[in-house]
Amino acid sequence: MLDPVAHNRTAWDRQVELGNEWTVPVSPDVVARARQGDWSVVLIGYVPVPRDWFPEPLAGTDVLCLASGGGQQAPVLAAAGARVTVLDNSPGQLGQDELVAEREGLALRTVLGDMRDLSAFADASFDLIFNPVSNLFCPDLAPVWPECFRVLRPGGRLLVGFVNPDVYIFDADALDRGELVVRHALPYADLTHLDEQERERLCGPEHPLEYSHTMTEQIGGQLAAGFVLTGFMEGPHHWDVTARYLPGYFSTRAVKPL
């Protein structure tokens, strides 16, 4: 049986080697501006997160960048004054954060792990969890939200970006031709909806495995864990024809009640 966590760890390490855009560390100029208070980060696509979604002031807050390696969001938040910890399944992705931290003299902690298991952290350890689009690579979201709730302090915020599950109904070959052909029932998973030969043909053997997840798993799961939803945004998909017809991403801001 294929271990999806082990597979995706190797796959994202390979993406770092290939220079995937979400593995390329921020420049010294971005860090310098963040130190002066001029900063932004993204949860979905290329859309900056509204500043009022973050605690004010950000400086001095304890932040967990969850499944957020790659040397992009975490160094910016650290340069803006937050005390940042990054948890990611990929050593290569964490290495990009460590590279920026060393290059720029940032205090930034990295932890290797699965986003479903935050046992490395004590209860009420963080003021903010920042989770950009990454849970599409997680087989099961049910453990994620209770763990986030546990490690946040009362009044803490959970910022999450995720893929619109509806984009997974379409046939990938048709999308490459600019056509929308409904093929897959939801919820979708690479392992159950494609055989090994088609997966390798479409993505290559080292591509990360993806899962669509339902809105009940995404938003309903946060609510069931005890969060109060206080913000919602959508954004266009940035890489295929679906962007002309439906949002490709959603983001949520949720709060752990006092």
**Dihedrals φ, ψ of 231, to 5°?**
-160, 145
Please state the rounded mean pLDDT for residues 248-253: 97
Q: Going from the N-terminus, what domains does the chain have, and what CATH number goes with each? A: 4-164+213-255 (3.40.50.150)
Q: In sequence order, which ranges of the chain are alpha helices (DSSP H)?
A: 4-18, 28-35, 73-79, 91-104, 144-151, 172-176, 190-193, 196-203, 215, 221-225
Residues 113-168 pLDDT 10s: 999 999 999 999 999 999 999 999 999 999 999 999 999 999 999 999 999 999 99
Q: Model confidence over 171-208: pLDDT tens digits?
A: 999 998 999 999 999 999 999 999 888 988 887 777 89
Interval 81-117: pLDDT, tens = 999 999 999 999 999 999 999 999 999 999 999 999 9
User: Among 21-35, 70-84, 148-162, 227-241, whose mean pLDDT is lowest?
Assistant: 227-241
- Shortest CA distance to 67 belongs to which of 139, 19, 154, 164? 139
* Residues 133, 134, 139, 143, CA torsion sign: negative
| pLDDT value at residue 122 | 98
Closest to 74 in 3D by CA, of 45, 41, 103? 41
Check if the beta carbon of residue 82 is closer than 8 Å to that of residue 58.
yes
**48-72 average pLDDT score:** 97
> What is the percent of the chain with per-residue pLDDT over 90, rounded to a whole number?
90
Give the mean model confidence (pLDDT) for residues 66-85.
Answer: 98
**Statement: residue 238 has pLDDT above 90:** no
